[in-house]
Amino acid sequence: MMKKLMAFLLCLTLVFNIVGCSSSDEPEPTSGTDSSSETKDKVNNTTEKEEADKVEEVVIKFPHYKTGNNVGAKFFLPQIDRFNDKYKGQYRLEVEEIVQDAYGDKIKLLYQSNKLPPMYESPDRDFLEIIKDNHTYVDLKPYIDANPEFGSTLIEESIAYNTTDSGEIVSLPYSYVRLIGAYYNKEIFSEAGINTFPQSWEDFYAACDAIQSETGKAPLALMTGENAWTLMLLTSSYMASMPEGKDILKAQEMVYDYNTAFWNDTFTFVQNMLQNYSTTSALGAGYSTAANDFFSESTAFIANGPWMIGDFSNPDKVGDGFKDKVGATIYPGGIGLGDASGSWYIISNKASQEEVEGLIEYFKFLYSPDELNAFLAAEGGFAPHVPMPEETLKQLDPVLAELNVSLEKNMTDTVPTIFAVIPKPVEEEMTKNLPLLYSGDMTPVEFCEKLTLTAQKFNK
């Protein structure tokens, strides 16, 4: 009898365990349908309650990819520590480590299971539309309005991008722009008889030919794997050198038809770059391979953002004195890539009011002059409404300073990258077919047809 009773109890425990797995101990969520006036009330109440509520430290946990070996971790994690020190006893941010490639999928998964973290970034533009439709965010407008000093740092273009039709602000607008440039090995260029970076595409091709013939090295560090980042940056700048391309990029409208002369020409350029000016390792290469081609001086040029500059003096990645050989520039034709459009941190409507207040403090901290300038000095970019002190400017990394000079002197226009206009499935299809374009098994026309078919498959 005892045995049977024990067996029954075991079964019961198992069933309870299974049922127990689905229970939730999440904090009471903020309502997803808060009206803006309710949010304003909360903002006003914040000041009244501030002192009373400071008894317990509010711990805010969120996943982020700027951890581990990610290039952004070098500044991001110490900054979190500085915030935690400043608000010790009041707020503490805890970052859960996740690799960048898995971040978007993780956020989508958490959203589907109704377990979004208090703060997150949108994986893509479609996701942003979905959360707008379902109002699963905290409107930031009342908080920005309540903190004019913080609000004055934000870039108008970015505020507009993040403002919904009903006037709510869905994600933290940017207060800085980081323009993507390119880096070249001055020594290899010099060996090829080129002493200044080419300013036109004709000169760029001539320089590539000279590098190949004089040094025997491949001119460009390109990649066809992942999202073909370095290749697509170069492609974006090429697109922007044509009026039609500039219009397409600036409009930031998703393209669903690639069967046009312009796109054929663009992918003919891509094929030419891959077949004639890149290394064989570009085929299927991810960013690390392309970067390594540049670091190891196998190639003379790489396109990337200013966040890469720190790696030029990283002894784990480059040889002695490598940084001195690197020059920074914008693209031929005076094109700078990037703008302030885009979403950043979103506060989930699942966050408790205390968490929302803590995150608003974090945003204010991020855009405080000291922090913002430290960030820009470390990773590049400029904040139009927060001038960088002369002292900081003098201490800028020489490569970053050179990039800034190039931007100031030679930049004629800025455009977003190609990723702003190609739907996600097209991006996937593109990288899948780039090896065929490289090998010549697919013509640019066929490539465009393939992209069009993919773009229209899920286009409603």
Partner 1 sequence: MKNYNKSWIYIFILPTLVIFLMFYLIPIITVFITGFTDWNGFDSPTFIGFENYELMLTYDDTFLVALVNLLKWSLVAVSVHVPFGALVAFVLYKKPFGWRFTRGVFMIPNIISISAWAIIYRFIFNDDIGLLNNFVRLIGAENFHVNWLFDPRYAFSAITLTWVFYAVIVTLLVLNDLMAIPKELHEAAYIDGATDMDIHVRINLPLVKNAIATSIILSIVSRITMFEVIYLTTKGGPGNSTYNISLMLFEGIINYEYGYANAVSTIMIILGVGVLVIINKLFKLNKATGN
Residues that bind partner 1 (CB under 8 A): 4, 7-8, 11, 14-15, 18, 108, 111-112, 126-127, 130, 133-134, 224, 280-281, 283-284, 424-425, 428, 431-433, 435-436, 439, 441-442, 453, 457-458
Distance CA 146, CA 38 (A): 14
Q: What is the SS3 assignment for 39?
A: helix
Q: What's the min distance (Å) between Cβ of 208 and partner 1?
A: 21
Cβ nearer to partner 1, comparing 373 with 433: 433
Cβ nearer to partner 1, comparing 4 with 409: 4
The answer to whether 155 and 340 are in contact (CB under 8 A) is yes
- What's the Rg (C-alpha) of the chain? 25
Cβ nearer to partner 1, comparing 224 with 406: 224
Cα 108 to Cα 103, 138, 220, 343, distances in angstroms: 9, 18, 36, 16
Q: What's the min distance (Å) between Cβ of 428 and partner 1?
A: 7
CA angle (191 as vertex; 188, 197 as ends), nearest 5: 60
Q: What's the min distance (Å) between Cβ of 280 and partner 1?
A: 6
| Residue 144 dihedral angles phi and psi, to the nearest 5° | -70, -45
Q: How many CA atoms lie within 13 A of 96 on its CB side?
A: 13
Q: What's the min distance (Å) between Cβ of 292 and partner 1?
A: 10
Cβ nearer to partner 1, comparing 1 with 52: 1
Distance CA 134, CA 129 (A): 9
Q: What is the SS3 assignment for 123?
A: coil
Q: What's the min distance (Å) between Cβ of 423 and partner 1?
A: 8
Q: What's the min distance (Å) between Cβ of 455 and partner 1?
A: 11
Closest Cα partner for 337 from 266, 256, 420, 270? 420
Residues 6+ apart with CB under 8 A from 203: 332
Cβ nearer to partner 1, comparing 42 with 450: 450
Cβ nearer to partner 1, comparing 381 with 444: 444
Q: What's the min distance (Å) between Cβ of 31 and partner 1?
A: 18
Residues 6+ apart with CB under 8 A from 233: 180, 182, 303, 304, 337, 417
Cβ nearer to partner 1, comparing 164 with 281: 281
